[in-house]
């Protein structure tokens, strides 16, 4: 099953004319393409699937989804490498 994971945008920048961002997922930071959500701002939440932000989401919903996935033990791939 493919899941979109909510994350908080902590930085935006342009790389090779593509809108990119640094997105935080419960303490883990990933590089994400933001081209599909050009109106996004720092501190906004997005739903991310395979490195692409697909939509903006409000903070309360993002926290509910993240808590649900954590409760189902479905956040392993977001863990920082040891």
Is the pLDDT assigned to residue 76 strictly greater than 50?
A: yes
> Which has more confidence, 76 or 45?
45
Say if residues 54 and 48 touch (Cβ distance below 8 Å): yes
> Which has more confidence, 38 or 65?
38
Domains of the chain, with CATH numbers?
5-79 (2.30.30.140)
- Adjacent-strand bridge partners of 52: 33, 49
Is the pLDDT assigned to residue 56 strictly greater than 50?
A: yes
Instruction: Give the separation between CA 76 and CA 41, rounded to whole angstroms.
Output: 27
């Amino acid at each position: 099953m493919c899941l979109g994971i909510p994350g908080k945008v902590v930085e935006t920048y342009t790389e090779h004319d593509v809108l990119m961002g640094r997105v935080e997922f419960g303490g883990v930071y990933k590089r994400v393409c933001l081209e599909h959500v050009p109106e996004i701002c720092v501190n906004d939440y997005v739903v991310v699937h395979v490195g692409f932000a697909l939509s903006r989401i409000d903070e309360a919903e993002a926290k509910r989804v993240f808590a649900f996935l954590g409760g189902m033990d479905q956040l392993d791939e977001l863990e920082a490498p040891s």
